[in-house]
Amino acid sequence: MKKKLSAIIVGAGHRSMLYASYATQHPDELVIVGVVDPSAPRRDLAARTFGLTPAQCHVSVEALAALPRQADFIINGTMDRLHVPTSLPLLAAGYDLLLEKPFATSEAELWQLAQAARRHGRKVSICHVLRYTPFYAAIRQEVLKGTIGDLLNVQAVEHVSYHHQAVGFVRGKWNRRDASGSTMLMAKSCHDLDLIAWMKSGVPPVRVASFGGNYLFRPEKAPAGAGTRCLVDCPIEADCLYSARKQYLDHPERWAFYVWDTLEHLAKPTLEDMTASLKGNNPYGRCVWKCDNDVVDHQSVAIEFADGCTATLNMIGGAAKPSRSLHLVGTRGEIQGCFEDSRFVIRRPDPRPGHEYVEETVDLRITADMTGAHGGHGGGDLRLVADFLCTLRGEPPSISATSLEDSISGHLMGFCADRAMADGVTVALGRA
């Protein structure tokens, strides 16, 4: 019989509520015993979902931290700029943390949180959920087995869809660094930087260079005649790929947690409610070329590791099809695959006459490894929660375990890449 653990949600947004849903699917392992959120509708939603009393609903982290410890751990899914400020008092109050990525918004914050976790002796796991998917876990297992020898190069690519780019990084919560605290690279692709660091686990990255910028979503790139709000003053809206009508009214569930957050007080917003919102002051009703965004829409990162291995990450926003791909080249072969396909190829040199290489396909769609692999982030979301519960119970960690210390290298690569891009230099990574 597994020990049942308790958790409190801090920031009852999309990510926290998803992780907390493990309690409804596995009530014998996890129970939600509280929520912290300044928003009354979100506190009420969490209370209804998990059967919380008014005494278990808190307006601030400070109010919770002032009480005797109420749970085994915290699920912290606040916005990026709040991760460290909300985590520090909770660590001091004796809580372990399951903390959303990116766990910090600067190198200074990174070391501040790491030192606090060490000082208070608390366990902190970062929500790098892609590590827990069958696709990436199986590739990591092949690397650990030495299937392709020593890694020479890691190539990661993330294609961010046009609708995700618009909702998150042009119109939405991550469109300005001064608002969210994070660059697009850290908000969207610190998953991929973490995967690169994970494939080279134990070997520190030492130098980073980066190039990128906002190519498309600028006023001077707006189509002739474009208005300022799609449903108010735009005569070309019907022909626009980024029309708020097409992206949000025609797909009302796709980005509902972001686009309709101003309608949370309504049990079931109607099409008329949504239309009125987009015509009003809803930021998602703005023309994508005439927003206040200041983050990139594409960025390339080059990394050198201490053993001489190199790596690249290409993050491209505005793609027709969202996808992540990974290509590892080692001294005895290579691994290449696309996350969305749930399969990868292992190739090895074959010098026999009439041959060049041999390859085998690992298809995770038809193996037992794909059990439970559907849902958020290819099944990684709830696998991460299950693994953190194992850690807190003192059970051996999985190969995917994402402790705070394990996450430092990937975050450092991202912070240094953004500095390298801004300053036009190669940046050496420091440690502490």
Give ∠ CA 95-99-101 in degrees, rounded to 5. Answer: 165
pLDDT at 144: 97
The reply to whether the predicted model has a pTM over 0.85 is yes
Q: How far apart are CA 390 and CA 127, in angstroms?
A: 15
pLDDT at 1: 73
Tokens for 405, please give them: 């210390």
Reported as type and span, the H/E element at residue 156 is strand 151-161
AA identity, residue 172: G
State residue 180 phi and psi, 5-degree precision: -85, -30
AA identity, residue 85: P
Where do we find the tokens 């190198």?
Answer: 107
DSSP 429: P
- Give domain limits for the chain: 5-126, 130-217+294-428, 219-290
pLDDT averaged per 10 residues in sequence order, the chain, 432 residues? 93 95 96 97 95 98 97 97 97 97 95 96 95 95 98 98 98 95 96 96 96 97 97 97 97 94 88 97 97 97 98 97 97 97 96 94 71 49 94 92 90 97 95 61
pLDDT at 318: 95
pLDDT at 374: 41
pLDDT at 2: 83
**Considering only the top CATH level, what class is 130-217+294-428?**
alpha beta
Q: Which of 142, 96, 148, 146 is nearest to 117 (CA)?
A: 96
pLDDT at 108: 95
CB 293 within 8 A of CB 169: yes
pLDDT at 100: 96
CB 303 within 8 A of CB 429: no
CB 130 within 8 A of CB 377: yes
Where do we find the tokens 């605290």?
Answer: 181
Reported as type and span, the H/E element at residue 20 is helix 14-20
Tokens for 421, please give them: 């891009």
Q: How far apart are CA 120 and CA 122, in angstroms?
A: 6
Q: How far apart are CA 375 and CA 237, in angstroms?
A: 33
Please count the CA atoms within 13 angstroms of the CA of 81 that sit on its side-chain side. 10
pLDDT at 380: 80
Distances (CA, A) of 37 to 5, 58, 62, 65, 103: 21, 7, 11, 13, 18
pLDDT at 338: 97
pLDDT at 376: 44
CATH number, domain 5-126:
3.40.50.720
